[in-house]
Amino acid sequence: MIVKTSEEVQNQIIHLIKDFIKKDVNPIATIYEKDNIYPHELIPTMQELGLFGITIPEKYGGMGLDFTTFAKIFEEISKGWMSLSGIIGTHHILSHIISTYGTDEQKNRVLPKMATGEIRGGLALTESEAGSDSQNITTTAIKDGEEYIINGRKMYITNGEHGNAFALVAKTDTDISPRHKGISCFIFEKPSDGFKVGQHLDKLGYRGLDTCELVFDNCRIPADSLIGGVEGKGFGQVMNGLETGRINVAARAVGVAQAALDSALSYSQRRETFGKPIAQHQAIQLKLADMATKVHAARLMVYDAADKKDSGLRNDLEASMAKLFASEICGEVTMEAMRVHGGAGYIKDLPIERYYRDAPLMIIGEGTNEIMKLIIARRLLEKNKLQE
């Protein structure tokens, strides 16, 4: 169970984030997003703000904050520029996996450097033929004395170029059934012989952040890189980590949706048609009311999932619901906000079209929404199983 952050401390943190977004992020976001430029100069400030150690325990140099505060931070960053949240998104999946399952040596060696941002993490899970079906990965890790030999390719990896440590998911047993029992998770650190960053992917949205292919060709890593020191535990470790990822993706969706709503509210009060601001037309008012209600509902669902995670209880049901609902709402709200803006919303001079392009990431990222529905249904049936 995680100790809840006091409201006073939480408000102070969010105030600092808002100030950072206003002063440092907003002036460059549109240009950097358009030209797909990685924001290197923002990293030192993010380090100073403690953003690389949000949930890392204080004993390892992190802030040790609860997941509700974690969600609020991701929401606030995403209001300014959603891509920026990606720098610390999968970073925190790796830190959570190590904090929860790592050996004492792994925690003491890696977490302090992750908390400061010296180590910037990612998740090397997805492959070209193994996205939603994580058990279908083909990357292998074969034990050879005091090392593992890694072979395979990972695709769509956030922070692939600029990250330097990854939760690497590979099969240590390719014959075992069920398949997930043969999956292990490693701490992979750059540089390493036999490893290279492959193609860089050009994305619709989520620009300014590197998304790459990772190539492992007889890459040798130390045996003590195996998280927890026991093979075959990787699938459960990563699924637990993805619960935190789904909270952060849902929070991002709320942030982008709120930014779109804020833009629609502002524009509708300035733009006039038929002699009055369009905000005074009932058709626009109905849109604004629907948008605001959906964003508010999504936010409450995210906070509920975060609170469940803080309690130490299983929260895959709540996290999946929050991710599903918030991301779908984000898609709807960004579209409606563009309609409120009319033609102006379709032009790159305003950020509305960026919000619209960023929205699909939350729908397909951290597990597609179709997978979220399957998880939700299975958990509901488990909890409501008929008694014989």
- Pick the catalytic residue: 366, 370, 382, 388? 366
Question: Is beta strand 165-171 parallel, antiparallel or unpaired with respect to 121-124?
Answer: parallel
CB of 170 closer than 8 Å to CB of 186 = yes
Query: Helix (H, G, I), strand (E, B), or coil: what is residue 277?
Result: strand
Contact 252, 82 (CB under 8 A): yes
d(CA 253, CA 141): 35
DSSP secondary structure letter of residue 281: S
Furthest C-alpha separation in the chain? 79
At 61, list the tokens: 């140099």
* CA gap 3, 74 in Å, rounded: 19
Give the separation between CA 309 and CA 298, rounded to whole angstroms: 17
**Listed residue (205, 330, 159, 207) closest to 260, CA to CA:** 330
Cα separation, 299 vs 259, whole angstroms: 13
C-alpha triplet 91, 93, 95: angle, nearest 5°: 70
Cα distances (angstroms) measured from residue 143 to each of 148, 173, 185, 381: 4, 10, 13, 39
Catalytic, 105? Answer no
61: left (phi over 0), alpha (psi -120 to 50) or beta: left
Active-site residue numbers?
Answer: 366
